[in-house]
Chains A and B, each alone.
Chain A
């Protein structure tokens, strides 16, 4: 066990603050990425070019991600053995990896041709699919995260 992990274990409020920050980080990530997804799906911010939405929102998403990643790693270090048997935790990590992969594929493929369809509401199907997948995955990540405390395998 690392010193940071044992410090967390021995201080209830440190754990609470970290968990609260982790939740805020996820809300920041999901809340901002959902706006990009809605734009891709033509359901929100339709007047704004996709690239403008992405360039202004993604820095917030990444800051939120850094926040959630570091607090998450710290929380995990403090209760690694509690989480090891939790299916909800494993599902959450799997969905997170898929969300990262989806974003990576989007940026490396269809987003490269963004200048051609930037201003349009009806954008290429591949971009819309990426938005839909992202939306579903982030709903799943929030659901799995909240389920850790209620599901089997935790705190046993």
Chain B
């Protein structure tokens, strides 16, 4: 699957006023990333608690379904914060993301994680699950693994993409001289 057809979209996003504004200010770059990390923290903390409850390490006497219901607004809140700050970060470093394999890996895993959360995970957590059963444990482990992979792939974009932010020449060459 080639990502080349998405070049116009990335080019447009990188040239939007908001992308250029963020990119020109170290403060705004840091701020969008901080907000993104706070969203991740919220998402990860709540998911961890629900998955631990599914694994049988939850809060005593309280079923996973209750914990999941109480934490769902915060999980979704964290996800919304990430889905707003994420595209803002993308607009500020379009090139770096486009060129980074980890960005595309992260998007793929994120899609799977979100679909998994709103289908299998939510249904399992709501169904008064008997924690400790194999199927329930499997759902919890897959959930934890997916979100951990999203976080790790995200971190890798930052670690292995810095050289691309410095030298935009190859990307621009492909954008403007095709």
A binding-site residues for B, Cβ under 8 Å:
16, 19-20, 23-24, 27-28, 30-32, 34-35, 38, 44-48, 52-53, 55-57, 60, 139, 142-143, 146-147, 149-151
Contacts and interface: CB of A to CB of B under 8 A. Distances in A.
Contacts of B61: 52
A31 B58 contact: no
Interface of B: 26-27, 29-30, 33-34, 37-38, 40-46, 48-49, 52, 57-62, 66-67, 70-71, 73-74, 148, 151-152, 155-156, 159
Nearest to B29: A150
Contacts of B45: 27-28, 30-32, 34-35
A47 B62 CA distance: 9
- By secondary structure, the B interface counts as helix
B40 A27 contact: yes
Given A27-B40, A34-B42, A150-B26, A143 B34 contact: yes
Contact of B38 (A20, A45, A139, A151): A139
Most buried by A among B26, B41, B61, B67: B41
Given A146-B34, A147-B34, A150-B30, A34 B66 contact: no
A38 B41 CA distance: 13
B104 to A, nearest CB: 19
Contacts of B40: 27
25 contacts: A16-B159, A19-B159, A24-B151, A27-B44, A27-B45, A28-B45, A31-B44, A31-B45, A31-B46, A31-B48, A34-B42, A34-B45, A44-B71, A45-B59, A46-B70, A48-B59, A48-B62, A52-B59, A53-B59, A55-B60, A56-B58, A56-B59, A149-B30, A150-B29, A150-B30
A150 B27 CA distance: 8
A109 to B, nearest CB: 24
B61 to A, nearest CB: 7
Most buried by B among A35, A55, A151: A35
A143 to B, nearest CB: 5
B2 to A, nearest CB: 29
Contacts of A38: 74
